Amino acid sequence: MIQRYSLLEMASLFTDEARFATWLEVEVLAVEGLAALGVVPADDAAAVRAKAPTVDAAMVDRIAERERVTDHDVAAFVDVVQAAIGPPAGNWVHYGLTSSDVVDTALCVTLTRAADVLLGASTDLVHALKRRAVEFKDTAMVGRTHGVHAEPTTFGAKLALWALQADRDRARLATARRTIAVGKLSGAVGTYSNIEPAVEAHVCQALGLTPVPATQVIARDRHAEFLYACASTAATIELMATEVRHLQRTEVREAEEPFRAGQKGSSAMPHKRNPIKTEQLSGLARVLRGHISAGLENVALWHERDISHSSVERIVLPDAAILTHYMLRRMTGVIDGLVVHPDRMLENMDRSFGLVFSQPVLLALVASGLARDDAYRIVQRNAMAAWEQGKPFRTLLESDPEVTMDEAALDDAFDLTRALRNTDRIFDALEAIE
């Protein structure tokens, strides 16, 4: 992932140094597991642990140099580690293992750690949404369907629904974490032909993983699930970002993403305060959706394994984790700093001449004894007149001889408080979020 979208907390998990350090820990633990079974002398296992090289930039360079000879990254890694430890202890490194035992188990360690970082960032976003939803619980605004005024809602209800969706994404990330927190050290085709299951159990326990049956590789539906959890999170962020972008349009101007001192919205037009953060998030969500397809295609491998998945995963798994983390942090900042204009929300609701109350008027006419279709035509006729003549919807109804409702009934139909009286139902669900 490019530097622009990489935050250190996540990106540090996917460096070459971090990858080789995790491989090394798997290898050392495997030797210690073999020693517990009496296969490896205890002194040699202790020497492997004590003499294991420090994984730094210099070691990464040595592995890269060796790989130019072996054309195999794990083989190059093992050669460098064994040379650093020296015989006879070093000879036990990678004993009975195949490359995927190390690579797949280490990758699952990394993805589990990445999931923990994502869960922390996801929780922060959920809490920010919940906090601001409560803040604007009673801030009335027009609800829009198809981009057109529909009925009244509140800005708090909008934020609360986002919080509930973000919380579901958090649950998906937690499930994906459990799915990916697995390991395998079962040999070339997963039959433990040259390694005992006890070694796998020892390594996985030390790394916080669950041992699972596998072929040479851990099944890739697990990795696809991780990618889906990331893409689903990004889709929710895009939902919020798109709404903020709409609300920030000049014609609407009901809410704006934060705009800090010194920021420039346009190089040419000084008046501009463009929604660049949310536009960026909309774009990045497209990238993450593309990774799902690659992850699903990685599920079908030849026989007990091939490496067609490997090159894909070197790109999409780090990128997905890093991008999702960036998007979560970026969206949390937008929500925390969101500028809201309640007066403008009320002003915009009034722009449709009271038509947001057409349904309660319709229901009141039906309740008075009119057939629904007749009542609908009466309301629709007056609604169209309100648009065309620029007159208040209620005034037109009051002058229509076919509208027999009294003033009290009209008051009730046009009562904003009545329209919003049940929004607490949404906040009851929000309250359950921790």
Is the predicted pLDDT of residue 360 greater than 90, yes or no? yes
Q: 10-21: per-residue pLDDT in tens?
A: 999 999 999 999
Note the pLDDT of residue 140.
Answer: 97
The closest of 79, 64, 73 to 99, measured between CA atoms, is 73
Per CATH, domain 100-181+216-352 is 1.20.200.10: yes
Amino acid at the residue 91: N
Average pLDDT score over residue span 412-428: 94
Listed by start position, the domains of the chain span: 1-95, 100-181+216-352, 355-413
Q: 332-346: per-residue pLDDT in tens?
A: 999 999 999 999 999
- At residue 210, the 3 state secondary structure works out as strand
Q: Are 145 and 352 in contact (CB under 8 A)?
A: no
Average pLDDT, the chain: 95
pTM: 0.94
CATH code for residues 1-95: 1.10.275.10
CATH code for residues 355-413: 1.10.40.30
Note the pLDDT of residue 406.
Answer: 87
User: For 181-307, where are the alpha helices, taking DSSP H only?
Assistant: 197-207, 221-248, 276-297
Angstrom distance (rounded) from CA 68 to CA 415: 76
Amino acid at the residue 34: L
**In 117-275, at which residue ranges do the beta strands (DSSP E only) sit?**
140-145, 148-154, 182-183, 210-211, 255-256
Q: 383-399: per-residue pLDDT in tens?
A: 999 999 999 999 999 99
Tokens 């997905």 identify what position?
320
Q: How confident is the model at residue 135 (pLDDT cuts 50, 70, 90)?
A: very high
Lowest mean pLDDT of 152-161, 185-194, 253-262, 350-359, name the range.
253-262
- At residue 149, the 3 state secondary structure works out as strand
Note the pLDDT of residue 259.
Answer: 77
What one-character-per-residue DSSP string does 12-36 give? GGGSHHHHHHHHHHHHHHHHHHHHH
Note the pLDDT of residue 173.
Answer: 98
Q: 71-123: per-residue pLDDT in tens?
A: 999 999 999 999 999 999 999 999 999 999 999 999 999 999 999 999 999 99
Query: Active-site positions?
Result: 146, 266
How long, in residues, is the chain?
434
Q: Are 176 and 114 in contact (CB under 8 A)?
A: no
Is the predicted pLDDT of residue 1 greater than 90, yes or no? no
For β-strands 182-183 and 210-211, DSSP reports them as parallel
Angstrom distance (rounded) from CA 353 to CA 182: 60
Q: 272: which 2 tokens?
A: 């501009």
Note the pLDDT of residue 183.
Answer: 98
Q: Checking phi first, is residue 184 left (phi over 0); if not, alpha (psi -120 to 50) or beta? A: beta
Is the predicted pLDDT of residue 171 greater than 90, yes or no? yes
Average pLDDT score over residue span 191-220: 97
Is the predicted pLDDT of residue 253 greater than 90, yes or no? yes
Angstrom distance (rounded) from CA 393 to CA 385: 8
Q: 22-71: per-residue pLDDT in tens?
A: 999 999 999 999 999 999 999 999 999 999 999 999 999 999 999 999 99
